[in-house]
Chains A and B, each alone.
Chain A
Amino acid sequence: MLESYVFVNIFETKGLEYMLILIFLVGFIIFLRYFEIHKQ
């Protein structure tokens, strides 16, 4: 049980995740635009 006292940061990846979500949102808009351009 002693091993559980080592330092663990469970939010280590949070920054990356937020970045990924931003990329996703921007990407999603671009992706939607991609469909629309065709229609003109």
Chain B
Amino acid sequence: MNRRKFFKLAGISAAGLTEKLITSADAAGIPSTKQFIGVLNDTTKCIGCRNCEKACSEVNGMQVPDIENDNALEKERVTDEKQLSVVNKYKTDKGTVYIKRQCMHCWQPACAAACLTNALHKTEEGPIIWRSDKCMGCRYCMVSCPFDIPKFEYQSWNPRILKCDMCWKRIQQGAIPACVEACPSEALMFGLKKDLMEIARTRIYKHPKDYVSHVYGEYEVGGASWLYLSSVPFEQLGFRTDLGNTPYPEYTKEFLYAVPAIILILPPLLYGLHHITEPEDSEKK
């Protein structure tokens, strides 16, 4: 058996096992292990029905979009404080592609590293949640997030930071995210990131003509819980492909590491300077 064949076999069997486990809507929530969970968005299967948008708004108590009549797909939209998940339509040479956008739930989130109150918090299972009793509204998370996901209620005296939290409440109760549940075409899949990656790679391997060989979110800014498969290169679909694979908190890490050292070294140095510059005939005034 050559290498190729072996991988093919292994891939199929792994996928065969897990795929069944996850896409069925009655799957029993998260496994008990503290492994990162995530969602795989196979955009080739998305039909642009926007049921996920509707479910998201319902679950989060926001104004539910009228998905039949509002023609929202005509313009490219971004998430905002009134809607945490949006679907966009892109015309490409491989036909129309629909992309659902929301928080990526980064493995090393810039937003949570930026938050000085720990209001944005990465749970051990992966979803990043926001806690209202801690946040002071500095909006440093918004400045830091490479995907511009945290949104702020500018029109309120008591503003909140709003972003997708992967339906953390539902997950804790054993349910799956509302958008995944609402998806009629199995474009969204919920499960452990490692299983989802396996499925994604298998699909790319089995259908090399239908997919580009890249899972967006596998390594981007250090990796994310939300993964995308696509038939066309991601830069044609409004994705930023220039963000690099370095986790964002790494950019400030060195500075923060230097701080204790400087606090240790500098004061003695300054005291020392003060001492050695003392004049010989130190006249007491």
* Complex interface: chain B residues within 8 A of A4 (CB): 245
Which residues of A in the span 1-24 have a Cβ within 8 Å of any Cβ on B? 1-2, 4
Give the distance in Å from the alpha carbon of A4 to the alpha carbon of B246 in the complex. 13
Q: Which secondary structure dominates where chain A touches chain B?
A: helix
> What is the bound-complex CA distance between A4 and B45, given in angstroms?
29
Q: Compute how far the CA of A14 lies from the CA of B213 in the bound complex, rounded to whole angstroms.
A: 35
Which residues of chain B have C-beta atoms less than 8 A from A2's C-beta? 213
Q: Which B residues touch A1, using CB under 8 A?
A: 214, 218-219
Residues of B in contact, count (CB < 8 Å): 5
Measured between alpha carbons, how far is A1 from B218 in the docked complex, in Å?
A: 10
Contact residues, B141-181 vs A (CB, 8 A): none
Residues from chain A with a CB closer than 8 A to the CB of B213 are 2
Find chain A residues with CB under 8 A from B214 CB: 1
Q: CB-defined interface of B201-226 with A at 8 Å, one 1/0 digit per residue?
A: 00000000000011000110000000
Q: How far is the CA of A1 from the CA of B214 in the complex (A)?
A: 7
A25 to B214, CA, bound (A): 48
Q: Which residue of B lies closest to A2 (CB)?
A: B213
Least Cβ–Cβ distance between A14 and chain B, in angstroms: 20
Closest to A4 in B: B245
A2 to B213, CA, bound (A): 9
- Closest residue to B219 on the A side, CB-wise? A1
Complex CA–CA separation, A2 to B233 (angstroms): 13
Residues of A within 8 A of B218 (CB): 1
A10 to B172, CA, bound (A): 46
Q: Once bound together, how far apart are the Cα atoms of A4 and B214, in whole Å?
A: 12
Q: Once the chains are docked, how many angstroms separate the CA of A34 from the CA of B245? A: 48
**Distance in angstroms between the alpha carbons of A2 and B215 in the assembled complex:** 12
CA–CA, A2 and B218, complex, Å: 13
Rounded to whole angstroms, the CA-CA distance of A4 and B213 in the bound complex is 14
Residue of A nearest to B241 (CB): A3
Cα-based distance from A4 to B218 in the complex (angstroms): 14
In the bound complex, residues from chain A placing their C-beta under 8 Å from that of B245 are 4
CB distance from B61 to the nearest CB of A (A): 39
- Complex alpha-carbon distance, A4 and B245, angstroms: 10
Complex Cα distance, B242 from A4, in Å, reads: 12
Q: How far is the CA of A4 from the CA of B220 in the complex (A)?
A: 13
A25 and B245 alpha carbons, distance in the complex (Å): 37
Interface set of B (CB-CB < 8 Å, partner A) = 213-214, 218-219, 245
Which 5 interchain pairs have the tightest Cβ spacing?
A1-B214, A1-B219, A2-B213, A1-B218, A4-B245
5 contacts between A and B (CB under 8 A): A1-B214, A1-B218, A1-B219, A2-B213, A4-B245
